Structure 1
């Protein structure tokens, strides 16, 4: 009986070790890849199926794509509809800002070709119109990160699941409407929302331990409320400790310790955070 138990334990340890070793080897493979911003669309299409082979689990594959994109040059507001008023590409890997980083990682993690990733980002980045169609236009784009977190089925708010509601701070605002009543963006659109976020005194290692292995984080800046928005920045948290984000200061996508980044110089960079999970497109 005892020998049988020892055998079961040894087999279990071997399975765990083999699984961890396999994951480590696969992540080492990511480090050997040419950088995505240097590749053509066809070259990216040749690589993507291997991500699915090595990382069959969605979250692990998303994490691998996120790591692959570290080092991407930073440029602001570089996704568009390829027609006026915003002629930038619908999808790209050559440059990134914070939201572009999140959306492209989520799109490529669910795709085996560049063309498929383009189709996926349209589903993620644009709202469904009254006729049930999802057409990429400037007006239909998810312009506001807080709106996307609260209403987009692929980036789902889990802030309220992580901490008691009594410890959250709630804010009521009308998105896209400034204090003087004018629009921030020329969309002929506004939306009243209530945001609940985690304040700085609740952001610590205990909070991080509650997070999924891969999730999104959005940074609240209260000074932005007067302009009809609340989120100043966003990125992707992995392994419950590291933030991978497109940094305007570093001028590229970087991997940093989240708490060290957030409380740099012993003071918080923002007023709080919202956390959201990634849900694959059905």
Structure 2
């Protein structure tokens, strides 16, 4: 079962049925696995970060999109989806896999790096998972990510704030959220109770408004701004105070993640796409041009990678 419209996979957990042996800790596409691990073990120290990102992220082109596909493995208390997999991605697991890969020199170091990115303090459990990009995922990965939004749009960037009600989000989690198929009631009761100590917290994230990219009534592209975006950056799609409370228990302000790459003089967005249901490249300008002023998507946040 594929996940619904919500773009960021970690927010609602897995809706993926345990097929193809997905009740184990690992699921690999053998062909991709071999190329991936060979690639990370032959990385050159002097290779630019953007080159590493472009090379590793390209290995997964065309891999299917399945929302909420990752969990804590068979030993996980709540979500028993695989911890590591290369056969499917959603927006965040794709970004995490590439980020972990560019830091790694072996399969063992890849697993450790992936865990450090996905879980607070590297503790593999549902509660410690970085579920919310603006509240958990970005702040807890500051060692490898640096926010450069204000450098790209120094006089135009804005702040997107929202109140994240993590306790209400926990109460909205269902059996599908954790891919539970039988004996789910006691598991859900415990899961719902586990999150009730959380307080409502304000989450802020800076963003480049689309009005700074498409300028004036004729929507002229601000090329000077685009030229300041480094190739290999992590991009987060920002929807200020995104009104999702009645569906998932809380509002959000980030809906999707991916990479920005510069190829042949133009910017592309490389991401695990809900629309295309696979990992794809899209022209950066074309992608954002489809959103008008009435859309909840108002801009994007940018993070450079530091190794």
Q: TM-score band (shorter)? A: 0.7 to 0.9
| Structure having the higher Rg | 1
- Match in the other structure for 2:50: 59
Structure 1 pair 123/271, CA: closer, same or farther in 2 (3 Å)? same
User: Given the alignment, which residue of 152, 162, 185 partners 1:173?
Assistant: 162
Instruction: Note the 1:211-222 alignment, pairs <5 A.
Output: 211-222=229-240
Equivalent pair of 2:160/2:238 in contact (CA under 8 Å): no
Equivalent pair of 1:176/1:229 in contact (CA under 8 Å): no
Structure 1 pair 252/40, CA: closer, same or farther in 2 (3 Å)? closer
**Cα offset, 1:48, TM superposition:** 2.9
- Match in the other structure for 1:72: 63
CA RMSD, 1 decimal: 2.8
* Distance in 2 of aligned mates of 1:92 and 1:64: 18
2:114 matched to 1:124? no
User: Given the alignment, which residue of 273, 276, 280 partners 2:300?
Assistant: 273
Equivalent pair of 1:234/1:245 in contact (CA under 8 Å): yes
For residue 297 of structure 2, give the secondary structure of its aligned residue in structure 1: coil
- Match in the other structure for 1:99: 92
Equivalent pair of 1:235/1:244 in contact (CA under 8 Å): yes
- Structure 1: which 5+ residue stretches go unaligned? 1-35, 129-133
**Cα offset, 1:169, TM superposition:** 2.7
Q: TM-score, normalised by structure 1?
A: 0.74
- Match in the other structure for 1:39: 31
Equivalent pair of 2:291/2:297 in contact (CA under 8 Å): no
Question: As a proportion of its length, which structure holds more strand?
Answer: 2
| More relative contact order, 1 or 2 (CA 8 Å, 6+ apart) | 2
* Distance in 1 of aligned mates of 2:201 and 2:287: 32
Query: Aligned pair count?
Result: 237
Structure 1 pair 55/65, CA: closer, same or farther in 2 (3 Å)? farther
Instruction: Note the 1:142-153 alignment, pairs <5 A.
Output: 142-147=130-135, 148-153=137-142
- Match in the other structure for 1:208: 226
* Distance in 2 of aligned mates of 1:140 and 1:155: 19
* Distance in 2 of aligned mates of 1:155 and 1:213: 14
Equivalent pair of 1:214/1:237 in contact (CA under 8 Å): yes
**Cα offset, 1:84, TM superposition:** 2.9
**Cα offset, 1:57, TM superposition:** 3.0
Q: TM-score, normalised by structure 2?
A: 0.68
2:281 matched to 1:260? no
- Structure 2: which 5+ residue stretches go unaligned? 1-27, 174-191, 214-221
Question: As a proportion of its length, which structure holds more helix?
Answer: 1
